[in-house]
Structure 1
Amino acid sequence: MTDAVAGLPPRPPIVFRTKALYGLGAAANIIKQRGITTFLLLFYNQVVGLPPAMVSTAIMIALIFDAFVDPTIGQISDNTRTRWGRRHPFMYAAALPVSIAFYLIWNPPVGWEHEALFAYMLVCLLTIRLFDTFFELPSSALLAELTADYDQRTSIIAIRSFCGVAGGLVMQLLVYQVFLKKNADGTGGLLERDGWQLYSIVAAITIFTIILISSAGTNHQIPYLRKPPTRKITIPAMLREVAATLNNRSFVVLTISGMFMNVSLGLKTALELYFNLYFWGLTQGQLAIMTVTGVVASIIGVTLAPIISGKIGKRYAAITMFFGAVVALLLPIGLRILGVMPPNGTPLLFGILIVDFMANGIMAIMTGVMLQSMIADVVEDSEVKTGRRSEGLLFSADNLFKKIVSGVGVFVSGVLLTFVAFPQGAKPNEVDPELLRNLALIYLPTIGGFYVVAISCLFLYRIDKSVHEENLRKLAQGALEVRTTDAQIEAGSPAATGPAGDLSPVAPRP
């Protein structure tokens, strides 16, 4: 379905510059997300001194709060009418508050009691989550409006995924090698508080700048974006619309898969630094090398994703890459438990971990590209059934369930650290090996089980290229019928009217 058919001005081709500026926006979200998921537990537990259960509880509460904010912002942005379109006002409004809150969370007051620090951390997290939603959700929803092409969506998501991963990893590299670099005399490092202030300043300014640049980079697309119909709608009617939109089989199975995947991701990201520092005994220099490896992996992943998707389809590409990424993630830990990995501190061990990290990164980013593109294809499938464009609602609802359960994953990570009695202020190479083994023995079956369920759900997804193109054909036919009816009305001919109470600009089609 072309924009001309939909009643909009003919859209000029989406050039690479537009794709790149749109994709750049993901870097702001991932810089923020990596800071919270990778470093926040370590910072507040090992540097500030909060018990891990308190830190993970605050993160879980913020994620659950964010999950319920998402559908609200999604539904509102779907139905917003302004001269700047329905997405851009929210995106611009996010820049300043999310940046200030991100700076503040890394600079908590000194000398406060645990309860006061917990409240301070929670307020900062809630503010970050709220205004991050103002940008990330409308920005993500733009994908389905920029193009309806099945393959071009994958290429745009590939660019966006690369920008997100690269931005997050570059900032992480700066943490290891600049802001909190471990000096030869033993000073500095991740457990030194002063370095976190510089990190927070640079990260906050970067997030603010990226949001403004990415939002401005798609301004010229506003005349070609869909506009919601002018209508009055009651809350019960809106709730019925939400229920009808979300009652889509392919969307439901993607959501369930995403829920199980994000429990595992929340657990993985919260404990990843613990495993790297304590289980594998890696130095900050080695972590920096792995970070650079991650950037290379993301380049390879986003390059291969559209190619693999074009050859075997998005669903089977996602399943294959997802399975491979999980194997690469869990295999080294399993082999260490079995006693067949080289000792910590040896070049051979680090070489194996680098190769494994590269393989995991390539397949993980390819999986993410496929899944985001599959969600975008649900937009037209839902529109065929409901008669409404609901990009914001679909992306926000997908995020809702993922964020709720990823909060559970972060909470579980704190519980596991508490259960194994992980010491506070622990230094690498000084933690009891038996304690680390116990942590790994609990971690592997827990995270592996959730990943198995997530992969299994993807087999039930039903929108392939042929189904998507048929959906576009039906929508084009529906738009043609609407224009014909409008022409008849202007000519004075009687026109058929839709069922009483129908709120849709185009009636749902079978």
Structure 2
Amino acid sequence: MNSKETKKIAAQDKIPSIQKFIYGLGAFVNNLLGAAIGGMLIVLNLGLGMNPALVGLLGALPRLTDALTDPLMGYISDHSKTKWGRRRPYIFFGAIAAGIVFALLWQVPRDQSESFYFWFFLIGSVVFYLAYTVFATPWVALGYELTPDYHERTSLMAVQNFMGQIAWLTAPWFLWFMQSDLLFDDMIEGAGWLAIIIGAFTICVGILPAIFLKEPLSKSAVDKQINSDDNEVASAPKVKKEEFPVGIGDFFKGFLATIKFKPFLRLCAATFLVFNGFMMVSSFQTYVIIYYVFGGDQALGAEYAGWSGTVSAISTFCVIFIVTKLSASLGKRRAFYTVTGISMLGYALKWVCYNPDYPLLLLLPPVLIAFGLGGLFTLMGSMVADVCDFDELKTHERREGMFGSIYWWVVKLGMAVALAAGGILLNVTGFDVALGGEQTADTIFLMRLFDVVIPIVTSAIAIWMLKGYPITEEKAHEVRQELEARKQR
């Protein structure tokens, strides 16, 4: 077949637009929860006066548990057999649990010690992330099963990526909402009501994929697995399939094989660096805007920070389409170099555009910075899919679930490390919330310096990491041909 011909999608493989939309709602809920739990932590410092380093730890420590729970949840979901499917029960009850726990987490008792607040939020956050994992991991897996067609899967992922970005349009306004004098007595009360709204939305919308989507491949996949298991053990000593140690052995075998695959590790490292650099200064820049650009005016600073985030989200929508074109013309790796370089220019512009005399200029850098994350999550998903093919060629196994869970754990790890490091860096600058707009000149300088330099350095290292990535367009085509030929033998 001519390489320029487009394979027509079979009617039975097409996903109706309404089902793509419903799956995309899961992306909106997923991103909204991720943005909320990170963005609302600033309340612990500005509202409760907690040490920024402790606030950073509260953002980091619960996410480290995902190193085990994410792959384990994927494994459990893969091996579940219910009349409702392997994914949908977890999505349904996970959304309800995550919504309830998140709402309760921010009903903060008043007049308690810093130690009490630390343990209150640490324990509550761990419980929340467990519920979050029960929802999110099977939801991601469900997307792989909605159609067997390669191009229709791409269409589905484009819809969910686009809808997931909508969450970032609302997230920048959380701080403005929580400290609104017209609505609440203080920021703590505002956080409590915002958490209730987000929790209720999570429950009402998060259960929709479980209710209205089907798992067209799940039954046949389970039947095939059962038949395969029966054939394999026919001549072996009889062992109960539900015996737990067998599952544990399979889990760790697949886990270790995945984390040893070098092309995949390069993608994980590049993602960690780009995302970590962005997240480390994402809350940091709010302090720069409030205390440098607006001299400590929290209300005005929060409003402009909200507009900056909105501009960034809108720009990311556009970037998704631009990156797709760049990838087709330059290849995925060179497209990554290009968009990451543009984002580095955006970070550098902060030094000039964060100007107390011209505050509107701070809306310019987000337009360029959006190329970083917009390009990252448009390109990396496609590159991980190429890695799965390359891995199959070498191992004769398909491990999309394990690759996906580990990759997204790296993203979460980047957020955890960034939140912890951000709090430490804020302490290093000498920032004192009690001083308000009277921060020292050295503090303001270090805040601005970290805000600009750190993401530039991490992005540059990410570009260097991908120089050794071996899967070019030509190599991916060769791998695909060999896999197809193997199926015919």
Per the shorter chain, which TM-score range? 0.7 to 0.9
What's the counterpart of residue 73 of structure 2?
Answer: 73
Deviation at residue 145 of structure 1 after TM alignment? 3.8
Matches within 5 A, 1:21-420: 21-40=22-41, 42-146=42-146, 153-173=153-173, 176=176, 178-181=177-180, 192-219=187-214, 221-222=216-217, 226-227=221-222, 229-230=225-226, 231=229, 232=241, 233=246, 235-281=248-294, 283-333=301-351, 335=352, 343-344=355-356, 346=357, 348-350=358-360, 352-420=361-429
Inter-partner Cα distance in structure 2 for 1:148 and 1:465: 22
Deviation sequence 1:375-407 (CA, Å, 0-9, x none)? 233233323333333222111111333433432
RMSD between superposed Cα atoms in Å: 3.0
Deviation at residue 98 of structure 1 after TM alignment? 0.9
Deviation at residue 313 of structure 1 after TM alignment? 2.6
Amino acid at match of 2:141: A
User: The residue matched to 1:48 in structure 2 has which SS?
Assistant: coil
When residues 84 and 454 of structure 1 are mapped into structure 2, their CA distance, relative to the original with a 3 A threshold, is farther
When residues 287 and 52 of structure 1 are mapped into structure 2, their CA distance, relative to the original with a 3 A threshold, is closer
Deviation sequence 1:248-269 (CA, Å, 0-9, x none)? 3321111121232343233123
What's the counterpart of residue 459 of structure 2?
Answer: 451
Q: Is residue 71–residue 393 contact of structure 1 (8 Å, CA) maintained in 2?
A: yes
Per mean C-alpha deviation after superposition, the further-off stretch among 309-318 and 283-292 is: 283-292
Identity of aligned residues (%): 22
Amino acid at match of 1:44: L
What's the counterpart of residue 234 of structure 2?
Answer: none
User: The residue matched to 1:229 in structure 2 has which SS?
Assistant: helix
Structure 1 stretches of 4+ with a deviation exceeding 6 A read none
Inter-partner Cα distance in structure 2 for 1:30 and 1:117: 25
Inter-partner Cα distance in structure 1 for 2:145 and 2:214: 13
Inter-partner Cα distance in structure 1 for 2:392 and 2:219: 18
Relative to the length of structure 1, the TM-score reads 0.80
When residues 392 and 309 of structure 1 are mapped into structure 2, their CA distance, relative to the original with a 3 A threshold, is same
Amino acid at match of 1:456: W
Q: Is residue 348–residue 452 contact of structure 2 (8 Å, CA) maintained in 1?
A: yes
User: The residue matched to 2:207 in structure 1 has which SS?
Assistant: helix
Inter-partner Cα distance in structure 1 for 2:152 and 2:467: 23
Deviation at residue 43 of structure 1 after TM alignment? 0.3
Q: Is residue 272–residue 411 contact of structure 2 (8 Å, CA) maintained in 1?
A: yes
Inter-partner Cα distance in structure 1 for 2:355 and 2:144: 49
Inter-partner Cα distance in structure 1 for 2:201 and 2:90: 19
What's the counterpart of residue 495 of structure 1?
Answer: none
Amino acid at match of 2:305: L
Deviation at residue 174 of structure 1 after TM alignment? 5.9
Per mean C-alpha deviation after superposition, the further-off stretch among 436-445 and 323-332 is: 436-445
Deviation at residue 175 of structure 1 after TM alignment? 5.0
Q: Is residue 305–residue 366 contact of structure 1 (8 Å, CA) maintained in 2?
A: yes
When residues 170 and 342 of structure 1 are mapped into structure 2, their CA distance, relative to the original with a 3 A threshold, is closer
Unmatched 5+ stretches in structure 2? 1-9, 230-240, 295-299
Unmatched 5+ stretches in structure 1? 1-8, 336-340, 482-510
Q: Is residue 13–residue 149 contact of structure 2 (8 Å, CA) maintained in 1?
A: no
| Relative contact order, higher structure (CA 8 A, sep 6+) | 1
Deviation at residue 33 of structure 1 after TM alignment? 1.6
Instruction: Tell me how many residue pairs correspond in the alignment.
Output: 457
Deviation sequence 1:41-73 (CA, Å, 0-9, x none)? x20111022211212112211111122211212
Deviation at residue 169 of structure 1 after TM alignment? 2.0
Q: Is residue 155–residue 306 contact of structure 1 (8 Å, CA) maintained in 2?
A: no
Amino acid at match of 1:434: D
Relative to the length of structure 2, the TM-score reads 0.83
What's the counterpart of residue 3 of structure 2?
Answer: none
